[in-house]
Structure formats: C-alpha cells, structure tokens
Homo-oligomer: A and B are copies of this chain.
Amino acid sequence: MENKMSKKIDTAKRSLALHKKHRGKLAVMSKAPLKNMKDLALVYTPGVGAVSSLIAVHKEKAREYTMKGNSIAVVSDGSAVLGLGNLGPEAALPVMEGKCLLFKQFADIDAFPIVLDTQDPEEIIRTVKLIAPGFGGINLEDISAPRCFMIEERLKRELSIPVMHDDQHGTAVVILAGLLNALKVVNKKIGDVKIILSGAGAAGTAIAHILILAGATNLRVVDREGVIYAERPNITPEKHELASLSKNATESGTLEEVMSGADVFVGVSAPNLVTEEMVRSMNEPIIFALANPTPEIMPDIAKRGGARVIATGRSDFPNQLNNALVFPGVFRGALDYNLSEITDDMKIRAAKAIAKLIPKPTANRIVPDIFDKRLVKAVSRSMKK
C-alpha cells in the first residue's frame, strides 16, 4: 500500500517535470519544405492563392488540399476534468494535449486542443460550430453530464462533420468490446444475462444505450439512490429515459439487492462500492470496475468473491478497458471514409472489431493492448460498412 502511494507520487512528480521541460506536449510542424523564396512561393503567397481560389469554388476540396482532411478538434470546457471535477479550461488543457498526442501516436491524426472559456451549452455549441470549417471532426472531452448529452446531440445534428463525446461513447464501445469477450469466457450470451450498471453519468448513460442496442435485455442502472426506475420520485428526464431502457427496472432496490443473482457488474461510478459478499451473491460474476483511479472493488477482492472475469480502467491490472482502444480508430475511419457522423451501428461494429482481435479470450485477456498495432486498422475499417 505504501509502495503504491509512493509510486503514485513519483508518477505525479515525473509527469510535472516532463510537462515543464517540454512546455506541454504538443507542437505544430510543417509537412512541406520552407528553406528559400521558391519554397515560400509555393507554401504561401503567391502560390497558395491558387489553392484558395480552387476551394472557394469547390468547398469540399478543402479535405484534399488542406489539413482539414486529417485534423480534429479536441474540445473541452473543463467542467469534468478526468475524475477531478470542474477545474476550468486552462486545467483541462494538459489533458486535451495528451489526448491529441494519443490521436497522433495511434492514428496519425492531427488533433488540436480547444479549451473553452464558457460552460454555457448554447455558447459551447455555437463556438464549436463556428470553428468547425477548419476541422474534419470534433472530439468532445470531459464535459459534465447532463449538459454533455444535449451539446453532443445538437452538434451531431447541426454539423456535417463527425462529432463524438469520447467520455460517453469511447467508454461505451470499449466496455461492449470487453463484455462480448468476457461473456465468451463464461460461455453466456448477452441477451440472457442480467447486467447491473453502476453510474448514470455521461459514461453510464452511453453504456446503457449501447448494451441495449447490442442485445442486452436485462439491465438495471443504479445511481447513488439505488436502482433507477420509472416511478422513482424526482427523477430527471435523462434518468427516466435510462429507466425505460432497462425494461425490467420497475422496482426500487439497493445496489446490493439487485446484484444478487446478476451475471455482470459494470461500474463507472465511485471507489469501493462493491464488497466481496456482493460479488459472491452473483452468478459466475463478470466484474468491470472502472472507477478511476480506485475501482468499485479491487481485483484481488473481486477474485476472492468468485469473479470469473475482472477488468478495470487501470494499466497495472489485466484487462484494462481504456477508451484509447477506441477513439483513434473511430476517428481514423471517420476521416478516411469521409463520414458525416458516427452512428450507433458504427460503434457496435467498432466494439465487435476490437473483440475479434482476441479470438480466444481468457479471464486475463479480453481486449488487446492499446499499443497493439492491429487495433486502429481494425476499428477504422469497421466504420465502413
């Protein structure tokens, strides 16, 4: 325990040092030479005038002749930075830079961080729409629920480039991918299992949707107050929709109560909500405990409770369910196939493509490593029907 703590402090210190040394992590570079006046005449005036004139007449040529075809904006208002809360745009910047770096490393996408000095949904929508002409896609990031639902929905509808809130859908896709393979390990089918989903925020809501779309029929979503059911007093519209998704959720109950007899627990909620006994009350349990950095239950405890497959969001345990398995390939595909939106079908195909990379999943290996070279190609191809 002390060792873990000192390792954590060490990582923080080394990360701070690295950020200070490089002054952040991202740089802009030229893809064309600029050594003399002749080069200048091609990359800038007067030559560039021909490119502008062409695009003025054929707007869609911007994808071929400018960086638009390979660039996405990673947009945040800093309202839900990692698990740290509402830290504002400046504090969100290092996270968005990091995200851009992953886009580059894994999918060779030129992503750029845009952090916004507003948390008003209408202003966020307006601003993203106004800066959109220079980008081939928009990755929304670390925007708090429930604002994120409306912001994403509106932008998807009002822009003709793909828009995805990764905290919702990246998470949902990787969980579906992991679940498909975990179910193989225990030899069950998604339509037959009882799934308990703890957490009804941005990620939880998207996970509920994708699980139902992928064939889940028996789902309970639980928040701090217990099972979300349609008749629950003072329920928000978003949670009411969740209740209607999980058709069997007609009654109240605590997390402990509903976990009894369940097959799958998916947590995107808070540390240490689940006990060894709760796991023991389940049926060949699959435990996805994704609260970060401290999961809903530590893997060793879940194992003692009889869990058959355990996954977390952490890199220091087997089966890390990380969005980074998803978003690079999703946007690579969206850009390559010139998609105007990322549909639910595409997300499910992406999840299946990730799962398929592990033909014989085992308890300790349900998803590929994020550095797996096959990953981006498989996911991006799955985006094209």
Contacts and interface: CB of A to CB of B under 8 A. Distances in A.
Interface of A: 8, 11-16, 18-20, 22-32, 34-37, 40-56, 59, 62, 64-71, 81-84, 87-102, 104-105, 110-118, 123, 126-127, 129-134, 292-293, 315, 324, 370-371
Closest CB pairs A-B (n = 9): A15-B47, A24-B67, A12-B50, A44-B98, A89-B133, A56-B87, A56-B91, A24-B66, A51-B94
A326 to B, nearest CB: 15
16 contacts: A11-B42, A12-B49, A16-B65, A20-B64, A23-B65, A26-B30, A27-B110, A34-B102, A37-B371, A40-B324, A49-B83, A62-B90, A93-B134, A115-B131, A123-B130, A127-B131
Nearest to A313: B45
A40 B325 CA distance: 13
Given A56-B84, A66-B93, A26 B31 contact: yes
A293 B46 contact: yes
A117 B132 CA distance: 7
Given A28-B27, A117-B132, A371 B36 contact: yes
Contacts of A67: 23-27, 93, 97, 113
Contacts of A28: 26-29, 71, 100, 104, 110-112
Contact of A8 (B30, B46, B99, B315): B46
A62 to B, nearest CB: 4
Contact of A47 (B12, B84, B87, B371): B12
B27 A29 contact: yes
Contacts of A22: 31-32
Nearest to A114: B131
A134 B114 contact: yes
Given A101-B32, A117-B130, A123-B130, A82 B49 contact: yes
Given A56-B87, A59-B90, A117-B131, 8 more contacts: A20-B65, A23-B65, A26-B28, A45-B292, A46-B292, A48-B98, A56-B88, A115-B134
Nearest to A314: B46
A170 B333 CA distance: 41
A9 to B, nearest CB: 9
A271 B146 CA distance: 58
B40 A14 contact: no
A89 B64 CA distance: 15
A66 B43 contact: no
Given A11-B46, A44-B98, A102-B44, A52 B130 contact: no
Contact of A41 (B11, B31, B126): B11
A101 B56 contact: no
Contact of A16 (B50, B71, B93): B50
Contact of A11 (B47, B91, B105): B47
B116 A133 contact: yes
Contacts of A102: 34, 40, 44
Given A25-B30, A43-B18, A65-B24, A52 B95 contact: yes
- Considering residues A44, A69, A114, which has the most beta carbons from chain B within 10 angstroms of its beta carbon? A44
A68 B93 contact: yes
Contacts of A94: 48, 51-52, 55, 65-66
Given A26-B31, A44-B102, A94-B66, A50 B15 contact: yes
A130 B264 CA distance: 43
- Considering residues A34, A52, A59, A100, which has the most beta carbons from chain B within 10 angstroms of its beta carbon? A52
Given A16-B54, A94-B52, A89 B134 contact: yes
